[in-house]
Structure 1
Amino acid sequence: MTGLIASPAAPPDPAGASVVADGWFPPIQLASVRDRLRLGAGAIPTPLLTEAIEGAMLHAFRELASWRSDRASEGAESLADVTDLTINGQNRAVVLWERVVRYFAAADLFAENRDISATDQGLDRAAEKESTSDEYRRNALAAVADLRSIGAATPVPRNRVSLL
């Protein structure tokens, strides 16, 4: 006997479920986040994923506040109005927004949902999730820099380093 306990899978998200931003930035589909990231094969329930996406949006709003104000003052009524450039048939700014939110949400989920175990194997999994969380956060910040580069005179650097 191994002592394993099976947990039922979380119920699926409602069809078309999304987290609505502020009207200027577009909503984020829960299914899109689940499909693009490894989120525990259904182990993350809808309310937890929704909360992570909301937190990611709040973080993104703070990172992009002045950039958004500049674009709005230039006449952009929504994020899609910022650029005509596309990638794979989708507006480039919208694709970057989705990446920003998706990766900030994933970073939070991986950081907050570590395996709790007294075994060395459990500790190794927790360390691996910490590393994954850092990688997702780095990807989100790179997408923020790429988004802030749209409309900028020069590209915004992806790496910000402060020397002490």
Structure 2
Amino acid sequence: MTGLISSPAPAPEAPETIVVADGWFPPIALADVRDRLRLGEGVVTTSRLTEAIEGGMLHAFRELVDWRTVQVLAGHEALDAVTDLEINGRNLAEVLWERIVRYFAGADLAADYRDVTATDQGLDRSAEKDLTSDELRRRALAAVADLLSIGGDPVARNMVELI
């Protein structure tokens, strides 16, 4: 006997379970994030997913604070009022907001769920998780640039800061 005990995957939350933003930005459904990101191979608990989405929102707020202020001063009462453009029948700004939060949350979760063991194979998987986290963060920042480009000059997706 090895002494290993398997834990069952947590039950998925109800489809209507959401993380509420600040009222100007729309809420994010946990089920949508879970469905679109395959992280933790089904073992991400609802509380960890909620915390990651909250962290993604906080990061997004920081990235978008000046842009949002301009939009509010222009009279836009909510994110969906910023543009009439749609993609697949959905408001483009809201689609971008969801991508930003989802990818920032996914980057945090990918960094947390490492498969580190004493074997070389486990170490290789850990390096792959780093790449996944970096890629998800890159996608979030690309969505930030796309959202910042609405109603103004295009914002470059790649920004480099020299030290």
Alignment TM class, shorter chain as reference: over 0.9
Residue 31 (structure 1) aligns with: 31
Residue 14 of structure 1 and its aligned partner are, at CA, apart by: 2.8
How many Å apart are 1:5 and its aligned residue?
4.2
Tell me which moved more, 2-11 or 60-69: 2-11
The verdict on how the C-alpha distance between 1:84 and 1:10 changes in structure 2, with shifts beyond 3 A counting, is same
2:92 is matched with which residue?
Answer: 92
In structure 1, the residue matched to 2:158 is: 159
| Contact 2:40–2:113 (8 Å) recurs in 1 | no
**How many residue pairs end up in the alignment?**
163
Letter matched to residue 120 of structure 2 = D
Per-residue deviation at 1:115? 1.5
Give the whole-Å Cα distance in 2 for the aligned partners of 1:117 and 1:41.
17
Query: 2:56 aligns to what?
Result: 56
| C-alpha separation in 2, matches of 1:113 and 1:17 | 23
Whole-angstrom CA distance in 2 between matches of 1:116 and 1:163: 33
Q: Quote the Cα distance in structure 2 between the aligned partners of 1:53 and 1:74.
A: 28
Aligned CA-pair RMSD: 1.5
Pairing of 1:84-123 with structure 2 (within 5 A): 84-123=84-123
- Alignment match, 2:145: 145
Which 10-residue stretch deviates more, 117-126 or 4-13? 4-13
- 1:77-125: CA deviation from partner (whole Å, max 9, x where unpaired): 0000000000000000000000000000000000122123111111011
1:39 positional shift: 2.1
Distance 2:126 2:41 in 1: 18
Question: 1:3–1:129: structure 2 CA closer, same or farther, 3 Å change rule?
Answer: farther
Gaps of 5+ in 2: none
Task: Tell me if the contact between 2:104 and 2:137 (Cα under 8 Å) persists in the aligned partners.
Answer: yes
Give the fraction of aligned pairs with identical amino acids, expressed as a percent. Answer: 67
Q: Identify if the C-alpha distance between structure 1 residues 127 and 3 changes in structure 2 by more than 3 Å, giving closer, same or farther.
A: farther
Letter in 2 for 1:117: T
Alpha-carbon distance in 2 for matches of 1:11, 1:126 = 26
Give the Cα–Cα distance (whole angstroms) in 2 for the partners of residues 102 and 109 of structure 1. 10
Structure 1 stretches of 4+ with a deviation exceeding 3 A read 1-5
Shift of 1:12: 1.7
Separation in 1 of the partners of 2:47 and 2:161?
A: 37
| TM-score, reference length from structure 2 | 0.95
Moved more, 55-64 or 31-40: 31-40
Whole-angstrom distance in 1 between the partners of 2:116 and 2:161: 34
**Equivalents in 2 of 1:125, 1:3: separation in Å?**
24
Matched to 1:111, the amino acid is A
Kindly state the Cα deviation for residue 25 of structure 1 after the two structures are TM-superposed. Answer: 0.1
1:2, distance to aligned residue in structure 2 (A): 7.8
Q: What per-residue deviation string (whole Å, max 9, x for no partner) do you get for residues 12-55 of structure 1? A: 21341010000000000000001111123421000000000000
